[in-house]
A and B are shown apart, each in its own frame.
Chain A
Amino acid sequence: MFSSKKSIIFKKTTLILSILTLSIGIALTGCSKSTATNKDNTTQKSLLVYAGAASKPPTEEAAKAFEKETGIRVDLIFGGSGTVLSQMELSKKGDLYFPGSSDFMEKAIQKKLVYPKTESRIVYLVNSINVQKGNPKNIHSLKDLTKPGIKIAIANPETVCVGLYATEIIDKTFTDQEKESFKKNLLNYTESCDKTATAISLKTVDAVIGWSVFQDWDPAKIENIPLKQNEIQRIGYIPIAVSTFSENKKLAQQFIDFLNSKEGKSIFKKYKYFATPEEATKYVGVKKPVGGEYKLNEEWINIGK
């Protein structure tokens, strides 16, 4: 009799637990489909910005300057451009999206997470070969990266804009044979833009194809070897846009306007970003397309085989 009582208790417990688990499951599944409401809230006095980690120092400085001028606090969440986009999508919060490159803004637009009309280009970037300070491996041109024994890394072209730009440069500049030699030297892909610069700082590799601005992030350890005019394919840029989750679009727009003001631009200039496409063009020497798309060649995904 005692054991039958026990089995009843056990069955009851199991039933209650199953119902509880199921209902939580249903509740969670249901929750994720609810949509956020967009309303203007004039009492809000702070902004939440999801930003790519690559431009952390100038973004932090710009946020402080904006707060000082307007009294509006800017909370910054840094991470990989895609990671913070996922965070914004899942948390259904945030006023602005400020990725490290243009391709992630395209994704945000496709996913309807930002208002396309509010998109604004803040700074511009130009590709460069980056080597260790003092250039110990005597790398003077893109072709030198095909020499045997040179260790190279690029950012993951599937996930990081500067990596995709690098593959385009190689695809369009090298012959098949040179490309093979380059791939032999290519040790691996780095996970982010800043880790690509770190690969040089920590002497993990001899050269990367990154941005010219890398040199200014760590001038004691990184040196630029400029690419030739015909090797550079396009000019990169960093955009910002108002999030569709923003509860105060006016305030968010105010921050974009600040970044585009003389004061805002000067902060990014201090960190050697190009403030206008003209400045970037002047550095390159000829006119190049700004942004735009390039479809990654499958061979860069299967390269590890």
Chain B
Amino acid sequence: MGMKKVSITFSFITLLFYLTLIFSLLSFISKDRFFEILFSERTLFSIKLSMTAAFVAVLLSFIIALPAAYALSRYEFFGKNFVDLILELPMIVSPAALGAILLLFFYNNLGTWIQGNIQQFVFTFYGIILAQFTTILGITIRMIKNGFDEIPSRYENAARTLGASSFQAFRSVSLPLCRRSILSTLIFAWAKAVGEFGATITLAGTMAMRTETLPVAIFMRLSVADIQGAVVLITILLAIGLFVLFIVRQVIGGKSNASN
């Protein structure tokens, strides 16, 4: 067997693995229950809430990640290693632990002051955004940095010798070259934010029509041993997530390095 057949087999094994898991859900779904839950005001609110919060979280993390990733990729500066090291923090600690860390922050003086004078985060919509943002910021920087790393800095240097400022060189050379890797990073970050659960439930609570995101709603269904209800919501989350990702990928038009 050639490399092609072996590698294609493995890619299909992946597909089969996930399809098997999805199939195992089907036995629990009843059609009536599915539509009843899907079109309830509460579920529609959860869907809207999850999508909106994830969008804002991705936007905020992008605003910080783009310059930060560029700095880490292009410049040497004091403390760079520490910045680089901390990026994986949200991946190392479990999501629930991350939520606990955030809660403990708001327990301290600075956190209490922020909540009292700037914005209440704990148990509010802003808590969801903060939880998702904390989860994805590090990995967004890491992935965008990897994109910049692959663009040789001599391209920018060439632009500079032609009279471009450092910002112009970044904007007209590196940024367009990194476009695809940045977009795929943002898609990844969005998907991760939509599915975020552990930090969100700990920081933002579970109130329906206020902070009940789809993953939180799934957990709450399981908490009352409503397996059917949980499965319906899982299917909805899965369908929306995959649909959005599919559409975005079509719009961006991701190409691989396939030769035939």
Helix, strand, loop or mixed for chain B's interface?
Answer: helix
Inter-chain contact B103/A158, CB cutoff 8 Å:
no
Inter-chain contact B205/A190, CB cutoff 8 Å:
yes
Inter-chain contact B222/A191, CB cutoff 8 Å:
no
Q: Which B residue's beta carbon lies closest to that of A88?
A: B225
Query: Contact size class for B?
Result: 35 or more
In the complex, which residues of chain B have a beta carbon less than 8 angstroms from the beta carbon of A32?
24, 27-28
Which listed segment binds A: B65-73, B163-171, B179-187, B208-216?
B208-216
Q: Which B residue's beta carbon lies closest to that of A84?
A: B225
Which listed segment binds B: A17-25, A170-178, A278-286?
A17-25
- Kindly state whether residue B220 has any CB partner on chain A within 8 Å: yes
- Kindly state whether residue B62 has any CB partner on chain A within 8 Å: no
Q: Which A residue's beta carbon lies closest to that of B107?
A: A202
Inter-chain contact B223/A80, CB cutoff 8 Å:
yes
Q: Give chain B interface residues in 1-40, CB to chain A under 8 Å.
A: 8, 12, 15-16, 19-20, 23-24, 26-28
Inter-chain contact B27/A29, CB cutoff 8 Å:
yes
Q: Which A residue's beta carbon lies closest to that of B123?
A: A188
- Kindly state whether residue B224 has any CB partner on chain A within 8 Å: yes
- Kindly state whether residue A65 has any CB partner on chain B within 8 Å: no
Given contacts A17-B16, A20-B16, A188 and B222 within 8 Å (CB-CB): no
Query: Contact size class for A?
Result: 35 or more
B36 to chain A, nearest CB (A): 15
In the complex, which residues of chain B have a beta carbon less than 8 angstroms from the beta carbon of A35?
none
Q: A190-B206, A301-B209, A304-B207 are in contact. List 14 more A-B contacts (CB 8 A).
A: A13-B12, A29-B23, A32-B28, A89-B225, A107-B225, A158-B224, A160-B223, A187-B124, A189-B205, A191-B206, A191-B220, A202-B104, A302-B209, A304-B211
B residues whose Cβ falls under 8 Å from a Cβ of A: 8, 12, 15-16, 19-20, 23-24, 26-28, 42, 103-104, 106-107, 112, 120, 122-124, 201-202, 204-212, 219-220, 222-227, 230
